[in-house]
Amino acid sequence: MEKYAGDKSALVGDVDCTADGAKDLCETHGVQGFPTIKWGDASALEDYEGGRDYEDLETFAEENLKPMCSPTNLDLCDADKKAQIEALMKKSATELDAEIEKKDAELKEAETTFDEEVKKLQERYEELEKAKAAKQKEIKDSGLGLMKAVKGSRPSAATGEEL
């Protein structure tokens, strides 16, 4: 944070989501766990997925914390992004709200599907773990230990030769 203090193109801040007034901000930006690192345009922050040590954060900051293509920085956009932004800027607030709501619903659906499938995988894993443990117990109880003990007690076991 000290390195970027006073920087006009990058803001590095710290928010305590448990403090008064910060809860709404954190909910707006999808902060669900702590610590969470977000980056990007303040109106559309993205999750940071990189390393957490100083070197990783510094490298990421140097590569990414700079003015980016956005409605306020159209000159930094390629032709496709510029056209996309211009088309979106022509829409009314109501139209944008509807489209944002639709895309947010799609994101939530993807997350829900993922969570449901992971739960199924976890349940299947637990079933397989129980079946494996039961089979191992059955095999051991069928005399495996005695077989190994008998084999180990034979004189040829020491030399590894057959009689």
- Show me where the domains of the chain are located: 1-67, 93-154
| Global confidence as pTM | 0.55
Dist. CA 83–CA 87, nearest whole Å: 6
Give the count of alpha carbons within 13 A of 133, CB side only: 6
Angle (CA) 149-151-154 rounded to 5° is 110
pLDDT tens for the chain, residues 1 to 163:
787 788 776 777 788 887 777 777 777 777 877 778 888 777 778 888 888 888 998 898 888 877 788 888 899 899 999 999 999 999 999 999 999 999 999 999 999 999 999 999 999 999 999 999 999 999 999 988 899 989 989 887 555 555 5
